[in-house]
Amino acid sequence: MRVCTLGDLLLDVVIRLDRPLVAGDDAPARTNAGAGGQAANVAAWAAELGAEARFVGKRADDAAGSLAASELADLGVELAGPVVQGRTGIVVSLVTPDAERSLASDRGVAPELVADELDPAWFSDCDVLHVSGYSLLREPIAGAAGRAVELARRAGARISVDASTWSAIREFGPLLFRERLAVLAPDVVFASERELQELGGRALAPVVVVKRGAEGCSVIEGEAVENHPALAAVAADSTGAGDAFAAGFLVGGVRTALEAAARCVGKLGALP
């Protein structure tokens, strides 16, 4: 099985606080830096779970980009897409002592991917194309996502999309986001409860997978709803757990998804 992903390859900086920040003062923390970005995370976990994985996206030729690309390749992911002069995006994930995380995101050159820069060969052999919802929020990458879906579907691939971010969807406009999602006509949509609420309900794809964090997940197919509890885990950091879950679902279904998410939350950082 080959899983292709389209979106961002960024540098993730994860900061896990031992106690809440104090304005104007210092607080002890543990940190981790490495490859990140939703599409990159899904590709890394797909490779970890036994699939062949290819990441497609635009990345910069700076030191941060080289570090992120090298780490992703070391995890068994094939990298495709233009490498350009510019600045690699950085995401800072601030993790509180209870393992909840908040993100500060700078996407760098990633949203500048253009449809004409895609090679049809990158999508000719994929079984699943997974598109990060962040890619629908900006042009020209939104156009590139649409072209990638055309190429992948022509090759017989299933299409999945992760809604990604309720706050950015609200700022962008839920109706416009939903219109762009409808153009892609995905087979599977992943969304948190809050993202689903912003988008107005369940009718986003034939299969909608609701990620509920510590409460597990719900799989919605038409009128049928299956609820699945999360697996036991000692939570250290929730960064990337949703991406691990999505990769697991695409590779092996619900059980594999829940196992991958439990593994991810038990460690610092988003990658396997």
Just list the catalytic residues: 243
Rounded CA gap, 5 and 134, in Å? 12
CA distances from 84 to 21, 111, 132, 208, 262 (A): 37, 12, 21, 36, 36
In 3-state terms, what secondary structure has residue 163?
coil
Name the DSSP letter for residue 188: E
Contact indicator for 54, 29 with CB cutoff of 8 Å: no
Can you read off the two tokens belonging to residue 103? 């993100």
Q: Quick check: helix, strand or coil at residue 120? A: helix
> Residue 204: what are its φ and ψ, rounded to 5°?
-105, -20
Please say whether the beta carbons of 272 and 263 come within 8 A: yes
Q: What does the block give as tokens for 192? A: 């948190």
The Cα–Cα gap between 248 and 241 comes to 10
Q: Residue 107 and residue 50: Cα distance in Å, rounded?
A: 28
- Please name the residues in contact with 46: beta carbons below 8 A apart, sequence gap of 6 or more: 3, 5, 53, 247, 250, 251
CA–CA dist 134, 168 (Å, integer) = 8
For residue 98, what is the DSSP state? T
